[in-house]
Amino acid sequence: MPFVFSFGSNLDEAQMRHRCPSVRRAGRATLPRHRLVFVGHSPRWGGAVATVERDPSAAVLGALDLLSHEDLAGLDAWEGGYRRVRREVVLASGQRMRPYVYLLDGRPGASPSAAYLEAIARGYRKLGYSLEPLRLHMREAS
């Protein structure tokens, strides 16, 4: 069964369970040397959506999810314009893994909607993360 590093709105467990019924959240994970950015425009969310880009001085907070092969194929369809790649993440235990990560090409700087940011915030709260990395974006979206 494959692992996926979830960030953005996929941190919302209800959304992931809807998209991937087999999902099992394995816990917290961090994507080092990357930063969270918002690109494009999603009609569903009414604003930009999350992706990650390389940044040697940053890290992206997320979750490690275990999926069935069928759900991974289904997630590919849900993620549309995103491409699936492997990146090294660090688990809360310090262990390193190379799960799949979904990346979306685009020019950073677009604004996400308040609803989209709240989906990410729900995941952060459930995982015990500080909302501080999202606060600036949340103020701009209000």
Given a cut of 90, whether residue 80 has pLDDT beyond it is no
- Residue 139's pLDDT is what? 67
- Residue 141's pLDDT is what? 55
What mean pLDDT is predicted for residues 117-134? 93
Domains of the chain (ranges plus CATH)?
3-141 (3.10.490.10)
111, 49 contact by CB (below 8 A): no
CA atoms within 13 A on the CB side of 13: 14
What's the pTM?
A: 0.93
CA distance 142 to 127: 24
CA distance 74 to 89: 23
Q: Indicate the average pLDDT of the chain.
A: 93
With vertex at residue 115, the alpha carbon angle to CA 128 and CA 18, rounded to the nearest 5 degrees, is 75
Confidence band for 140, pLDDT divided at 50, 70 and 90:
low
- Residue 2's pLDDT is what? 97
pLDDT tens digits along 100-125? 999 999 988 788 999 999 999 999 99
- Residue 27's pLDDT is what? 95
- Residue 121's pLDDT is what? 95
CA atoms within 13 A on the CB side of 122: 13
- Residue 90's pLDDT is what? 98
